[in-house]
Each structure stands twice: as C-alpha cells, then as structure tokens.
Structure 1
Amino acid sequence: MINYLKATTIAVTVSLCANAAAAEDYPAPVPMMDGAQAAIDAITPKNETFRIAYMPPATEFNYYIAVGEGIKAIAAEQGAEVFMLAPQSGADINGQMGMIQDVLTQDVDAIIFGTHDEFAAAPLIKKAVDQGIAVLMINSDIPNFPTPIHGVVGYSQRNGTHKIADWAIETYGGEPVKVGIIEGQPGYHSTERVGGFLDGIEGNEDFEVVVSIPGGWNVEGGNTAGMDILQSHPDLDVIFAANDYMIIGASFAAKALGRSDIALLGNDGDTSGLEEIAAGNVTATVNTSPYLMGQAAMHATLDALEGTYPGGWIETPTSIEDKNGAIAVLQEPEKLFPLPSKEY
C-alpha cells in the first residue's frame, strides 16, 4: 500500500538536493513488456537540484492539475524543482509535441508526462530517454509504450471501469437496461476505459449497448454527445462516460430534457465529479485519486534519478463512489485538488 505522506498544496522551488524516496512509498512495480523498459542506469541527472517537467495532455482538466499538485507537494518535501507545461486543450496534440521538443533543450533531469497520442509523442520521448532524462508516464497503465520509458504510474483503467460495470449490474440488473456510452478522444485511454466497461457487462443479457459515440474528454463534448444519444434513444436507462467531465456534460443534457430517471456513470473521481455526485446530478464514478497518484509518481521519479527505482508500472488504487461514498471522499479535502466548494 502506498504511503502517501502528509499532503500539502504548496508549489515551490527548493534549493536542496533531492533525497531518494523510500521503496515503501509506492507498491512494488510490475515489469513492463519485453523491450518497453528503458535502462534506469542510463539516466544521467544534470542538475544538483533536480529539475523536473510535468507535462500532462492539457490544462483544461482539473484532474491533471490535481495530479500536478500531488507532484509538487512531494517536490517541496524532497527538495526538487518542478514546472508544468501543457496545452490548454487535450485535442492540441501538435501543441503538446512542440512543448516536449522545447523542454528537451532546457536541461531537465526528468519528465513526468501524459498524452492523448502516444504514437505522436514516442519519437520525442525516445530523444528524452537517449539524452539521459528520466521519463515516467502518468495516469496510465500502458505496459508497452511505443518506445522504451523508465516507468508508468497510474490505475488499471480497464479494471477500474470493469468495477463500475459490476456495480451497475448489481444496482440495476434483473431487468432490461439500455446503455449509451460516451467515448473519449480515440486512443489508448478511451479504448481501455470503454473496453473495461464492455468487458464487465459482456454476457449479461440484461444490459444492451445501443449507442457509443465520442465526447472529446470535456464537458462541452459530453453535453453534445449526451443530448444526441438521449434524443435519438429516449428509452436509454444508463450512460457511461470515459471521464467525469463528459458525464457532467451529459448530466446537463439529461436535466435539459427532463431525464431525472437516467443513471449517469463516470470515471476519474476529481473534485467536480465527486461534488456532482454528492449533489445528485451524477450517479457514480470510478475514483482514481489523482492527487495521491501525483505523489506516488514524484516518489518514483526521484528514485529513478537516484538509481533506486527498478522501473515498471506502479498501480494506484481505484474505488467506486456513489453519493454516500462521494461525500465521504469530500470529507477528506486534504487529499483533493481543487478543494471542494463547501464543507461536507
């Protein structure tokens, strides 16, 4: 079990040399597939104070900001410099590639990154590894990134959404259930999350997927997709979306159409999603604890720079939260970013 240490939300630059995190600060990593592991002993830090770039796919998602706050909290404790660089939109793949290319000229010691297009990123990530930069992927469970990297930190996406499918069967099974799915932007993350949900309901004669369309990972896209599928399938019982932003958007569509009877299921567990569940606007989500994920990623990155991280995938935990569970999570605001809008 991860020892996440005391959480803090301060973003600072510290002038001390980073100390290695202890091995018990994250679960034992699972080896990646053959050929996917970059050599830890080839990492060559350049700076006395480790300088680390956090490069999520976009700044439009609070989820990635929460991950970043967890990263910065551990950087402050351990004595490292962290900066975040990302495009505003998760669809701006070219923008992110330009930023990665720019960072390669800045004498960074490590890159913690996430991307919506692993194949576009792979050539630049290879350059980073070849330069001796420690490279860890965040919010993922890819065991074979297209080019070797040093580590992956994230939850099992397919297992997480399989859990919410199991929850849906237990909660709504026993009678016919028509399901609509809102996918993310095409790529690994959407494939795994949607795939896990489909795996979970496969073979259950009560559940029928009648429509599956993309929602672009954001609230606006989820609203548009939700409106489309609810209008074209007015007898729908459940909508599952591959992230919380899209299911929040779908909840706006459901409200506009007077569909208070439909179950709305998401994935992420960021603060806005949890508050929508607590308010009764969304039904349940897969809670992936992004702030704590960031803390685990930073511990692993510092260990990689010290040569004590063995490489591989670090799995972070998931849980299914309905209204009662969401309120319980919101009652521990020190583990969340941004903070809840009120005290629960």
Structure 2
Amino acid sequence: MLKSATKATLAVSLAALATVALAQDYPAPVPLAEGAQAPIDAIAPKNEPFRIAYMPPATEFNYYIAIGEGIKAVAEEEGAEVFMLAPQSGADINGQMGMIQDVLTQDVDAIIFGTHDEFAAAPLLKQAVDKGMAVVMINSDIPNFPTPIHGVVGYSQRNGTHKIADWAIENYGSEPLKVGIIEGQPGYHSTERVGGFLDGIEGNENFEVVVSIDGKWNVEGGNTAGMDILQAHPDLDMIFAANDYMIIGASYAAKALGRSDIVLLGNDGDTSGLEEIAAGNVTATVNTSPFLMGKAAMHATLDALEGTYPGGWIETPTTIEDSEGALAVLQEPEKLFPQPSKEY
C-alpha cells in the first residue's frame, strides 16, 4: 500500500487553522432551511452580564470539553457568565433532557447545545426559544433542526468525511481494499459522517465495505467494534470510524491482534487522536478544530443576544491530518484542548 503526505495538504491545513485563529469574527452565516430560523428579534436577555448555559451531549468526550474551553475563552474576554451542564455518558439521553428542563427554570439568557437525539431535545428547546432565550446548536451543520432555533455552528460533517475518503483514495486506492466502518450511535451525526465517507468511495471499485457496526462514540465501544470486525474479517485492510475515540479504540484492537498493517481513519481532531496519529497508531483524521469552533459559537451567541447576529449556519473549517499534519497541529498547543501530553 502507498502511504504519503503532501506538502500541499499540510499548507492548506495550517492556513485554515491560522485564518480561524486570527479572526475575531466568524464566517458569514448561511441561512437555515425555510421555517428553521427562530426570530432573532424575539430574543429577550434578562441578565447583565449575560448568563449562558453550555450543554453538550456528555462530559466523557474531550471534544466537547475543547469546545467548552473555546466558549469559556471568549466569555472571559467579553465579560459573560458561562456554565456547563451535561451527563457523563453520551448514551444518557434522558439525563440530558432532564438537565435542559432544569435550565428552562433558571435565569438563563442563552443555551449553546449539542445532542445525540434531536427529536427528544426539540420540544424543550422550543420552550427555550419561546421564553426568549437564544438557542445555538454546536458541532453540527443541520439546516433544519426539528424546531426553529437561532443558529448552528460547526463544520460540514458530510463534506469533512468525504475529504478523508478522497484522501484514502489518493493514498491507498491503487489496489483492492476491504473496508470496515464503525458508526456512532444512530442519529444525524452518525448518518452524515458515515454518509460522507460512503459518498466519497462510491463508484471506486477498489473499495469494498464489508461491515458497518455501532461503536457507541467512545473508546471502549470502538475497541469492542474493532475487535469484532477484525476477528470476523481477518482480511480487512481499512477501518473508518465516525469519531476519533472509536478509531483509537479500534487501534487497540488492531494492536492486540497484531494488525500493524491496517489503515485507521478517524474524524474530529481531538488532541488524543492527533497524538495517536503522530505516534503512528492511527493513520489520519478529519481535523475540525473544536476549540476554535467554540470561540466562533460564543461570538455568535453573544451577537444574537445583542441583536446583531442574523441567524443561520456558521461553517468552521476541516482539514485532513496524517502524521506530518498532526505533528504540525500539535506544535501549536494554544489552539488545542486538552493540551498535548508532551512538547512536540
């Protein structure tokens, strides 16, 4: 198999990160689908300074902690109050819904949220909008949330994983490959990420997907899924997972089975994922810069509370990082959370 990193890919990667890191303002929003935009002029903040709840799907994911650190950084700069409330497990949908219900009874001006169950969250977030709270979804590109909200901030998930499929074709597509997929729990995020990868390899005769199973979005689930598919398909050549935690788990399974030859592809750009790539344990990932995404989301939320944000989707950048690219990103630790385990 071929394995290479191009200078062009690295240059684009660094340029994209620098652009976001140096920009005070977020990119121009793209309008949401018809009927999906909640009115900005109906937002009615009550507090000075603004009080904002950050409500990710779970605390078990460093990715969402990194987003939260970006949110916190802007809050400190702008003098806003932010608190985070989330269940420990991403599978605890009922726990998250209970927390949103609690926030609805508190004196809160805005909710920045992510969820693994849009339809469970929608009725509660409608109540938040009706109460005059600003409601902004994070880490998504969903154009028509089940109830109108004020904004969405995140990368194009389908386009991001399409990019890593393109990268895989460029670097490994010269011979037949058997591919396994580790999905997240069913929902929009898993559908889009897996769908983007499948779109990217569609029509390429050298890529044959032989198995696709749920990895629960976490390292343990990815390890279990990786072990299952590698034992069931010992001739597997490549695994794509819908997030970095699952591909890290799959890498443990591959190591346990002596499969140092397998190509392992992730999605997110978590610090831990980047370090695993730099160490040679994972092949590549879609880097989505969660810390910078959080900063963009907080700027948008504050602007919504001040009536200057028009609403819509703010797209944040994605790049493909292999060993060289991951090393370059790790050498800029100020743009990462958590910090790398060592100096690169």
What TM-score, normalized to structure 1?
A: 0.94
Partner amino acid for 1:217? Answer: W
Q: Any idea what SS the aligned residue of 2:89 has? A: coil
Q: Any idea what SS the aligned residue of 2:292 has? A: helix
Q: Does 1:156 align with 2:163?
A: no
- Report deviation, 1:5: 5.9
Partner amino acid for 1:183? Answer: E
Partner amino acid for 1:138? Answer: I
What is residue 338 of structure 2 aligned with on the other side?
338
Q: Any idea what SS the aligned residue of 2:31 has? A: coil
**Contact 2:49–2:81 (Cα < 8 Å) also in 1:** yes
Q: Which has the higher helix share?
A: 2
What is residue 258 of structure 1 aligned with on the other side?
258
Partner amino acid for 2:91? Answer: A
Identity %: 88
What is residue 5 of structure 2 aligned with on the other side?
none
What is residue 208 of structure 1 aligned with on the other side?
208
In 1, the alpha carbon distance for the partners of 2:148 and 2:301 equals: 16
In 1, the alpha carbon distance for the partners of 2:20 and 2:195 equals: 30
Gaps of 5+ in 1: 7-21
**Contact 2:333–2:340 (Cα < 8 Å) also in 1:** yes
What is residue 191 of structure 2 aligned with on the other side?
191
In 2, the alpha carbon distance for the partners of 1:209 and 1:94 equals: 34
What is residue 65 of structure 1 aligned with on the other side?
65
What is residue 300 of structure 1 aligned with on the other side?
300
**Contact 2:21–2:292 (Cα < 8 Å) also in 1:** no
In 2, the alpha carbon distance for the partners of 1:155 and 1:142 equals: 10
In 2, the alpha carbon distance for the partners of 1:3 and 1:317 equals: 9
In 2, the alpha carbon distance for the partners of 1:4 and 1:172 equals: 31
- Report deviation, 1:40: 0.1
Tell me how large the CA RMSD over aligned residues is. Answer: 1.2
In 2, the alpha carbon distance for the partners of 1:337 and 1:196 equals: 26
In 1, the alpha carbon distance for the partners of 2:57 and 2:144 equals: 19
| Structure 2 counterparts to residues 212-251 of structure 1, below 5 A | 212-251=212-251
In 2, the alpha carbon distance for the partners of 1:56 and 1:319 equals: 23
Q: Any idea what SS the aligned residue of 2:181 has? A: strand
What is residue 326 of structure 1 aligned with on the other side?
326
What is residue 28 of structure 1 aligned with on the other side?
28
What is residue 47 of structure 1 aligned with on the other side?
47
In 2, the alpha carbon distance for the partners of 1:151 and 1:114 equals: 12
1:258-301 superposed Cα distances (whole Å, 9 cap, x missing partner): 00000000000010000000000000000000000000000000
What is residue 104 of structure 1 aligned with on the other side?
104
Gaps of 5+ in 2: 1-15
**Contact 2:67–2:291 (Cα < 8 Å) also in 1:** yes
In 1, the alpha carbon distance for the partners of 2:250 and 2:232 equals: 14
Q: How many residues align?
A: 328
What is residue 8 of structure 2 aligned with on the other side?
none
Q: Any idea what SS the aligned residue of 1:25 has? A: coil
In 2, the alpha carbon distance for the partners of 1:142 and 1:173 equals: 31
Partner amino acid for 2:216? Answer: G
In 2, the alpha carbon distance for the partners of 1:35 and 1:118 equals: 16
Q: Any idea what SS the aligned residue of 1:68 has? A: helix
**After TM superposition, what 4+ stretches of structure 1 lie above 3 angstroms from structure 2?**
1-6
